[in-house]
Chains A and B, each alone.
Chain A
């Protein structure tokens, strides 16, 4: 089955799903960062231009900081997110899912020198498109990856209904599917709801609207509602 998730199992037997971010969202985040930094530099240049050579020197220092320190500072202190990544819901983490630390962050950002070759991020783009987890060369060397950190889209609250106990024990994923159906039924057309509920006639022994109602009742029961 094809997916973009990197699964990591902790020693406690918990599997973490890292949703790898690829070239397109990362390029968008980079563009946001670029615009932000250009804005900051332009605004800072207005007072600095009044100070002649000294102001120019300060401007060069600011440019250096924006080009090199910005990434590391944001990644280490802002939870692995530069401002652009925060806007796009991305996050840099170590390849094992732990928060990114100083050394990997410095390494991956120093290696921008390689990824930026030949001047317009050509190498980085090629690497991101080829790698299964969308890592550029700096990420591969530093052992980091960029993931989607924003919450998954969810449906509404499960509509309240009288709880109907399930006649047999269901596996965890089957229970999850029932609850998911109840949550998302508001987004589906009535016909589609009934179509889906009719699939479970062996469970509900009903069809159409009654089946939908009973499935929602089951979901309420699974959630422990009265």
Chain B
């Protein structure tokens, strides 16, 4: 065996961790393992079931496949044992390689050792070591010590996994069948469907069991092999062996000259002080931690000390601080409450009542807070800030009631309209219209006159065309101000052309 070629990290592992190493080995060599597995077991599976059907015992296939498991175990073990130390063989090589291994142990496993829960560990020992019988017994005693419980647990765990996979297939099928196709009851199903076609159902069960076994049995063998590897690592310190071999190779590569020096250096401490070679390196006399870490005070340390002193003179780091705080002269004793409670049950009940009361209080407080928040939800929100651009300020100035009207009313209103300040444009036009009407009728413009007042005043205008225009402007303004309905561009142009907007122009 060439240990250097091992492709598994060797280190001391707890037995439970080793099981995962087995799974990792199986994953790494999955193709090789399962191709050999199926190449060997599928013909046997078919043969067993055909035999069962021919003999009129359809369950025979299921039982035989279970019984022959120890024989199938040889295949994953062959692949993995080769893969760990060399490379994974393909399925032809695996099948051919079975002839190298003795069948004696397999026969034993198939007969009186069939229900042995340590098969996974026994298998690599018997097949890979191949020791004569007497040695094998002693070897087995050493090997199984301390891990026999884990090996048995592995067996039961793998049985459990097989059962899980077997049931999963059936349950999955059951989940996928529409409920109206399902038989009325489980008893009905077994009484009619299964009994009427029992051979078919048994063969189906055998197939599913075979598939579950195919998935889990290589895992079982791989975990057993990993347990075996770990036990041998433990017994023979394989990891140390590997590390020493690497060190040896390195030392040999260092060369002959150094080797001579090493020999001198190594012989010297043993031989005492009698013959000290002149060229031997001084003997390191370090023995304790204090000596190892003690630093001599030389010039470098002096420099460090001065640098440190300089740093501490900086006000940010050094300096003295006076702290004043109170400390107890004596440690205060915890107050002891030795008073026994008189009526514990009554006290507990009272506590429950008060606790409930406290919760109620909390709920009421939260409810009151929520109600407060609901009532004040809009008012405390900050008012949106006015857009404060230069244009909007000028617009604002042009439409407030007490500002003087621009000389060119129509132009100003048109400019506002085109700058998308439609409401402001209409407001300006309305104000101009009102002012012109007041001037025409020679009535004092009153600040509290409503639109309706101006409509009435319009009836007093002699010129019917002018009256119509005033009415049109007031109505347009009303629609815009109270209904948000604005005239189109042509409408506004017709309103702006002529009398009240353009003063001095006849209607």
- What residues of B have a CB within 8 angstroms of the CB of A143 in the complex? none
Inter-chain pairs besides A2-B21, A165-B269, 10 sampled, C-beta below 8 Å: A2-B8, A21-B20, A120-B171, A130-B27, A174-B250, A180-B240, A196-B237, A201-B248, A214-B266, A226-B287
Of A119, A130, A202, A225, which is within 8 A of B171 by CB?
Answer: A119
| A162-176 with Cβ < 8 A to chain B | 163-165, 167-168, 170, 173-174, 176
Chain A residues near B364 (CB-CB < 8 A)? none
Fill in one digit per residue for A42-59: 1 if any B CB lies within 8 Å of its CB, else 0: 000000000000000000
> Contact between A24 and B168 (Cβ–Cβ < 8 Å)?
no
Nearest Cβ on chain B to A29's Cβ, whole angstroms? 10
Question: What residues of chain B lie closer than 8 Å to A130, measured between beta carbons?
Answer: 27
Of A68-76, A91-99, A104-112, A150-158, the segment with at least 4 beta carbons within 8 Å of chain B is A150-158
Q: A118-B175, A150-B14 are in contact. Are A165 and B283 (CB under 8 A)?
A: yes
Contact among A89, A125, A165, A174 with B247 in the assembled complex (CB-CB below 8 Å)? A174
Choose the segment among B157-165, B424-432, B443-451 that binds chain A (4+ C-beta atoms closer than 8 Å). B157-165
Map CB proximity to B onto A1-15 as digits: 1 under 8 Å, 0 otherwise: 111110000000000
A-B pairs, 3 with minimum CB distance:
A122-B168, A177-B243, A167-B265
* Residues A188 and B236 in contact in the complex (CB < 8 Å), given A4-B20, A122-B164, A152-B14: yes
**Once the chains bind, are A27 and B160 in contact (CB under 8 Å)?**
yes
Query: What CA separation (Å) do A218 and B7 show in the bound complex?
Result: 30
- The contact of A188 among B167, B235, B267, by CB within 8 Å, is B235
Residue of A nearest to B289 (CB): A224
CA distance in complex: A165, B287 (Å): 9
Interface string of B231-256 (1 = CB under 8 A from A): 00011110111011111101110000
Partner of A23, one of B23, B258, B289: B23
B269-316 CB contacts (< 8 Å) to partner A? 269-270, 283-284, 286-289, 292
A119–B170 Cα distance when bound, in Å, is: 10
By the criterion CB–CB under 8 Å, are B175 and A226 in contact? Answer: no
Query: For chain B residues 1-48, which have a beta carbon within 8 Å of chain A?
Result: 7-9, 11-14, 16-17, 19-21, 23-25, 27-28
Q: Is the CB of A125 within 8 A of B262?
A: no
List A contacts of B130 (CB < 8 A). none
Q: Is the CB of A181 within 8 A of B8?
A: no
| Contact between chains at A134 and B23 (CB < 8 Å) | yes
Q: Pick the residue among A3, A89, A180, A203 that contacts B262 (CB under 8 A).
A: A203
| Contact status of A199 and B248, CB under 8 A, knowing A4-B20, A118-B168, A168-B262 | yes
Which B residues from 127 to 180 make CB contacts under 8 A with A?
153-154, 157-158, 160-161, 163-165, 167-169, 171-172, 174-175
Which positions 155-213 of chain A face chain B at CB distance < 8 Å?
Answer: 163-165, 167-168, 170, 173-174, 176-177, 180-181, 184, 187-188, 192, 196, 199-206
Known A-B contacts A122-B167, A148-B17, A224-B289; A1 and B241 likewise in contact (beta carbons under 8 Å): no
Contacts of B27 in A (CB 8 A): 130, 132
B-chain residues with CB within 8 Å of residue A89 when the two chains form the complex: 14, 16
Chain A residue numbers with a CB within 8 Å of B259 are 202
Known A-B contacts A23-B23, A125-B161, A129-B219; the reply to A4 vs B17 at CB < 8 A is yes
CA distance A200 to B262 in the complex (A): 12
Determine whether B416 belongs to the interface, using a CB cutoff of 8 Å to chain A: no
Would you call B263 an interface residue if the criterion is a C-beta within 8 Å of the partner chain's C-beta atoms?
yes
CB within 8 Å of B: which A1-41 residues: 1-5, 19-25, 27-28
Q: Indicate which residue in A28, A125, A153, A200 contacts B165 across the interface (CB closer than 8 Å).
A: A125
How far, in whole Å, are A20 and B161 apart by their CA atoms in the complex?
Answer: 19
Smallest CB gap from B15: residue in A: A153
Beyond A167-B262, A202-B262, whether A3 also contacts B21 by CB under 8 A is yes
Q: List 11 A-B contacts (CB under 8 A).
A: A1-B7, A22-B24, A27-B157, A120-B171, A132-B24, A177-B240, A180-B243, A196-B241, A205-B263, A206-B266, A224-B289
A25 touches B20 (CB 8 A): yes
Verify A2–B23 contact, CB threshold 8 A.
no
B77 within 8 A of A: no
B223 on interface, CB distance cutoff 8 Å: yes
> How far is the CB of A18 from the nearest CB of chain B, in Å?
12
Note all chain A residues with C-beta closer than 8 A to B172. Answer: 117-118, 122
**Cα of A99 to Cα of B98 in the assembled complex, Å:** 48
- Roughly how many angstroms separate A188 CA and B234 CA in the complex, as a whole number? 8
Q: Residues of B contacting A148 with CB < 8 Å?
A: 14, 16-17
- Nearest A residue to B287, CB-CB: A226
* Among candidates A134, A163, A174, residue contacting B243 with C-beta atoms closer than 8 Å: A174
Residue of B20, B27, B157 with most chain A CB atoms under a 10 A cut-off: B20
| A24-B154, A165-B283 given; A203·B251 CB < 8 A | yes
> Taking the nearest CB of chain B, how far is it from the CB of A106, in angstroms?
25
B129 CB to nearest chain A CB (Å): 16
Tell me, rounded to whole Å, the shortest Cβ–Cβ distance linking A52 to chain B.
Answer: 23
Chain B residue at minimal CB-CB distance from A185: B237
Nearest-Cβ distance from residue B131 to partner chain A, whole angstroms? 16
CB closest residue in chain B, given A131: B27
The reply to whether B24 and A200 form a contact with Cβ atoms under 8 Å apart is no
B265, A2: Cβ atoms under 8 Å? no
| Residue A114 is within 8 A (CB to CB) of chain B in the complex | no
Contacts of B234 in A (CB 8 A): 153, 187
Q: What's the minimum C-beta distance from B286 to chain A, rounded to whole angstroms? A: 8
Given contacts A122-B168, A165-B284, contact A199 B241 (CB under 8 A): yes
A153 touches B12 (CB 8 A): yes
A62 contacts chain B at the CB level, 8 A cutoff: no
* A66 within 8 Å of B (CB atoms): no
Given A2-B28, A19-B17, A24-B157, is A173 in contact with B243 using a C-beta cutoff of 8 Å? yes
Task: For B265, give the chain A residue with the smallest CB separation.
Answer: A167
Q: CA–CA, A148 to B239, complex, Å? A: 20
Instruction: Kindly report which residue of chain A lies nearest to residue B259, judged by CB atoms.
Output: A202
Interchain CB contact under 8 A, A25 and B19: yes
| A88 in the interface (beta carbon within 8 A) | yes
Chain A residues in 8 Å Cβ range of B286: 165
Residues of B within 8 A of A167 (CB): 261-262, 265-266
